[in-house]
Amino acid sequence: MADKNLRIGLIGIGNMGTPMGGNLIKAGWNVTVYDTDAARMRAFTAAHGGAAAASLAELGGKSDVIITMLPDGFIVRRVVLGKESGDDCLVKGLAKGTTIIDMSSSAPVGTRKLGEDLRQYGIVLLDAPVSGGVKGAVAATMSIMIGGDKALAERYDALLSAMGKRFFVGSLGAGHAAKVLNNYVSAAGLAAAAEAVRVAERFGIDPQVLINVINASTGRNNSTENKFAQFILNGKFNAGFALGLMTKDLTLAMDVAEACNVPAELGHATLALWKKAESALGAKADHTEIARYVNEQG
């Protein structure tokens, strides 16, 4: 049975963290949030309840379990350990035996290093990145890829189940590896579909007609089913995930491939395309704008 008396600290209440925290509170968990944006914290507690902490050290002192939902592993490390001795950070408040669950998209190798560094404090790390976007975060249907000690993962299964479907994938860092490899496949599928749509339009085929054909055929993928009609063909480009973050995940995926001595030729070509799009459109552009970039070339 889940111990709903556990005190949960959540760091990062942006597009993903806000609905995730809201679902935890809705499921009966005791949640305190922290974000560098005080206005976000006020908005969160007004909309969902829970409490807010004034500092990372305060959040650490008030939490049995910490969940991080941050842009990358460098920020996670700084939040947890700080960079300088005087920095506000979690370890200044965390008690021995506390668990940190990093649900950010972090570098797998960096995650293993952070886990090693936390052992001296008696703190345990799980990595549990997610896939499913804002829509999945709101509906609590995200895929959650968990790496670390399996018994520990099972201990917090009820907590994680309030946010999505859980998949235990291996030792510490394996969750983050699975996440960036998933995003590689997703990014490649989106770029391939964007190029196919552009060719079709030049040939005289209506883009929506081609997407309908693909979705009834073997080329269908998550992007053709859930992004083209919803965010691309209508010109909205507001799926809620930044192009720069997709490029970052692709870079991490290729780092993992290199560490494993896998050439990943298609992966490197995909990364090169996304880097060009980021250079042209900016890191803050929505990732679906890769289709706009492809359409504007040549």
Residue ranges per structural domain of the chain: 7-171, 178-296
Residues 6+ apart with CB under 8 A from 59: 9, 11, 32, 34, 53, 66, 90, 93
- Mean pLDDT of all residues in 221-236: 97
Residues 6+ apart with CB under 8 A from 207: 197, 200, 201, 228, 233
Closest C-alpha to 277, from 268, 269, 287: 287
Catalytic residue among 26, 62, 165, 179: 179
Q: Read off the pTM.
A: 0.90
Q: Which residue shows structure tokens 């799980």? A: 126
Residue 298 has pLDDT above 80, yes or no: no
Residue 108 has pLDDT above 60, yes or no: yes
pLDDT confidence of residue 99: 97
Is residue 90 within 8 Å of 79, Cβ to Cβ?
yes
The two domains 7-171 and 178-296 share their CATH topology (first three levels equal): no
The neighbour count for residue 190, using CB atoms within 10 Å, is: 25
Residue 192: φ, ψ to 5°:
-65, -45
Residue 119: φ, ψ to 5°:
-60, -35
- The DSSP output letter for 83 is S
Q: Which two tokens stand for residue 197?
A: 């749509």
Which CATH superfamily hosts domain 178-296?
A: N-(1-d-carboxylethyl)-l-norvaline Dehydrogenase; domain 2 (1.10.1040.10)
Distance, in Å, from the CA atom of 110 to the CA atom of 74, rounded to the nearest integer, reads 8
70-106 confidence digits (pLDDT tens): 989 999 999 999 998 889 999 999 999 999 999 998 9
- The DSSP output letter for 238 is -
Domain 7-171: state its class. Answer: alpha beta
150 is known as an active-site residue: no
Q: Across the chain, what does the average pLDDT equal?
A: 96
